[in-house]
Amino acid sequence: MERKWRDQIYQEFARIGKCLSSPKRLELIDILAQGPKSVEQLANMTGMSLANVSQHLQTLLESKLVRFHKKGNYVIYEIAERSVADFMVSLHRLSEKQLLEIQRLKTEILQYHKSMEPISLEELMSRMDRGDVMLLDVRPQDEYEVGHIPGAISVPIDELEKYLATLPMNVEVVAYCRGPYCFMSAQAVEIMQSKGIKASRLVEGVHEWKHYAEHTRREVVLRDEA
């Protein structure tokens, strides 16, 4: 009987694995981890047809990785719970560690954007505490409202140039977007540097920051208990 139960358990685990075997479905989850989106928005952001997006979303829905609700004439999808986003962060990190091709691509990306000095989360938090750096969230406003790094100012990439006209030239700015594989922040840094503004890119996004903050809190608790 135990063998039968074990087989059934791993069969259920395999449902999730099979669901995640599509690159496009992984991309959809990464996008939805930033906040709810309509089918039309997802089609525009991924370059897929509405029919293909709907088909992938149905597969994700059957595996209970996403959920949806209706808003007027639109169907709005979102991740089922935060653990789905946490899983994607873990998947990214494991893939970066184990797969040479991802390491090669990351090196290629860094070389392409070699004029941009990346900043670590630890350094960013320290400098924000001192008040000597400004953090910009260049994602769309709706994603910022769902969740953002504390202290960040929402300046969607499409509005950045207009916003920069109000900045003093001596301010130092850090931009971030959806995480390591989103390049809106790189685009933002290029725009700011072209205007003579000292700017850096935070490679991590909101979910990576949450992992960092929770890990830091755990370390503090463990030190206090020691």
| Catalytic residue annotation | 177
Neighbours of 78 (CB within 10 A): 17
Rounded to 5 degrees, φ, ψ at 146 are -70, -40
Q: For 36-71, give one letter per residue: b (16+ CB within 10 A) or e.
A: bbbbebbbeeeebeeeebeebbebbeebebbebeee
Task: Write the burial class of residue 181 (CB in 10 Å: 0-12 exposed, 13-18 middle, 19+ buried).
Answer: middle
Task: Write the burial class of residue 154 (CB in 10 Å: 0-12 exposed, 13-18 middle, 19+ buried).
Answer: middle
